[in-house]
Amino acid sequence: MNKAELVDSVAGAANLSKADAGRAVDAVVESVTKALKRGEQVSVVGFGTFSVKHRAARSGRNPRTGETIAIAASNVPGFKAGKGLKDAVN
């Protein structure tokens, strides 16, 4: 499912126009992104938890040349599925 299909699904489920559903989807994504930028966790009960995880610096290898390279530390977004989502999928 891509974003357009998600907007269509939300519009149908919530009895909204596609424009209103599109704004709602954009607002949710923007809110989650802003919270993660601040280092906060976003928990949606029954769905899951979005969080920021720190990835430590490490060394890697260039597959083309075999040369060792340094990979900088970074923060990456993470998602842990909640029980309701896990149960729905299984």
Residues 3 and 30 in one domain: yes
Residues 89 and 54 in one domain: yes
Residues 49 and 81 in one domain: yes
Q: What angle do CA 85, 17, 13 make, to 5 degrees?
A: 30
DSSP 65: T
- Read off the tokens for 24: 């709602």
Residues 23 and 53 in one domain: no
**In the chain, how many domains are there?**
2
pLDDT of residue 73: 97
Containing structural domain, residue 82: 41-90
pLDDT tens per residue across all 90 residues of the chain: 999 999 999 999 999 999 999 999 999 999 999 999 999 999 999 999 999 999 999 999 999 999 999 999 999 999 999 999 999 999
- How far are the Cα atoms of 5, 36, 78 from residue 10, in angstroms, in the given order? 9, 24, 24
Task: State if pTM tops 0.75.
Answer: yes
| Tokens 């923007």, located at residue | 30
- Read off the tokens for 38: 């601040």
